[in-house]
Amino acid sequence: MNSVFTEIKKLSLEQPIEVDTFNHDRYTVITRGTDRTKTTYSFGIPIYNEQTNDIVDMKYLHRKTGSYYIGSNAKITIRDSVKMQNQYGCCDIMLPGKISKKTENTVSWLSQETQIDVTPTLNGMTFKVMCTSTDRFNITIKTDRIFESTRSNDKYFSIMREKFVPFITVSCIGTLNDRGDVIAPCEIHNQKVDEKEYSLSFTNQSKSGKIIFFEINMQETKLFQDTTVESLHPKMNNAFGGTAFLGKTDTFGEQWLYSRVELSNLSKLQNKKVKKAILHIPKLNGSKSILTIHRIAARFCSFGSNWQNKIAVTAPIAESTVSNGYYHFDITKLLGELKNKSENFVIRAKNKTDKPVMISTGDNFYAPQILEVQYQ
């Protein structure tokens, strides 16, 4: 994602829109169509800076003292390292090599082994690392204070500032081919060096892979609370992973994405008369296999759910369409009148034999999910 308004233009099919400049709901842009119907586009990650109330401008400001970028609650400075800072602390991400190129959207590192392109997310950075099938890429993260715990699996690594709240999260997006499609996972492994330093390594999971792609973000409260569950790792929980591989793969077996929309974060929409609600989820690979959304029999836990204790599903209530790099789901019936509550559901492949689909989860800052609501 290059900007908030670029994505809104895609979803509105370039129709002329008028933006409500008085709205400062941190997740939402409110627009007005020619028929005066209002439409909200609520992103999975806050899109307004918490101090200035300005929409995040995903571009670098280059100065002699370094390159700067302001996210939704973090300041990022790139000089000899990538430094991320917010009210909870500061961390340095040490990369091999030196800066070789700067543009409005990318700062590139070059070493003897590889090139690394660093671009902004809504509250952090993505890292694209040129690789071969045998490459292992290493970085070091140093914090300015001691954090008591971490959470991790081979998809993400979080340094926790509270029991269930990260300070920062490193999340694998995947291994990319020449076209930029996710064709396989990439794996992350971590080792604690001391109380303030961690060593991380990333590995390519495909012989055809050309780029290892991951993101590092400072924590923000998310609109979609979710986790994947998978049959080959029936006890694994993926609370902070940013990518879902829905369908059946050799790496994960069958994978589902449990999710809920935290409607309490959307105060502007409480008790509105809803005409339509569409969930837009970024598509990260070339598959156009059909996905379905189902209600589930009980509330799931983002930190405790796994394949072994997965919750029963009902008949599908929405089936996907796909266009402009997104999967689209009409979830009007699921959300109803948008009262102050959350709705639990699961997304999975309609046919297990179809090509698996790679999509963003609610923890993806690079390509966030978007909820579009039309109301009067």
Q: Are 132 and 111 in contact (CB under 8 A)?
A: no
In this model, does residue 340 exceed pLDDT 60? no
What pLDDT does 17 receive? 67
When pLDDT is averaged across residues 224-236 and rounded to a whole number, the result is 95
Q: Over the stretch 130-179, which tens digit does the pLDDT of each residue have?
A: 987 777 899 999 999 999 899 999 999 999 999 999 999 999 999 999 88
Q: What gap in Å lies between CA 322 and CA 239, rounded to an integer?
A: 26
In this model, does residue 339 exceed pLDDT 70? no
Q: Are 213 and 127 in contact (CB under 8 A)?
A: yes
What pLDDT does 352 receive? 81
In this model, does residue 30 exceed pLDDT 90? no
Average per-residue pLDDT in the chain? 91
What pLDDT does 13 receive? 76
Domains of the chain by residue range:
61-218, 223-375
Least confident of 111-115, 120-124, 125-129: 111-115
Q: What gap in Å lies between CA 266 and CA 30, rounded to an integer?
A: 12
In this model, does residue 49 exceed pLDDT 70? yes
Q: Are 166 and 158 in contact (CB under 8 A)?
A: yes
Q: Give bridge partners of residue 215 from the DSSP assignment.
A: 126, 171
pLDDT tier at 335, thresholds 50, 70, 90 = confident
What pLDDT does 279 receive? 97
Extended beta strands in 131-196, E state: 136-143, 149-152, 156-160, 166-176, 182-184, 186-194
What pLDDT does 264 receive? 81
pLDDT tier at 37, thresholds 50, 70, 90 = confident
In this model, does residue 343 exceed pLDDT 80? no
Q: Over the stretch 309-327, which tens digit does the pLDDT of each residue have?
A: 999 898 899 999 999 999 9
What pLDDT does 16 receive? 63
When pLDDT is averaged across residues 46-61 and rounded to a whole number, the result is 94
Distances (CA, A) of 166 to 20, 123, 266, 353: 33, 13, 22, 36
Q: Which of these, 331, 326, 315, 330, lies nearest to 358 by C-alpha position?
A: 326
- Tokens 């109803």: give the residue: 336
What pLDDT does 338 receive? 62
Q: What gap in Å lies between CA 246 and CA 226, rounded to an integer?
A: 14
Residues of the chain with pLDDT > 70, as a percent, come to 96
End-to-end CA distance of the chain: 29
What pLDDT does 19 receive? 74
Instruction: Centre a 10 Å sphere on the Cβ of residue 184 and count the other Cβ atoms it contains.
Output: 21
Choice between 272 and 339, residue whose per-residue pLDDT is larger: 272
Counted residue by residue, the chain has a size of 376
**AA letter at 219:** Q
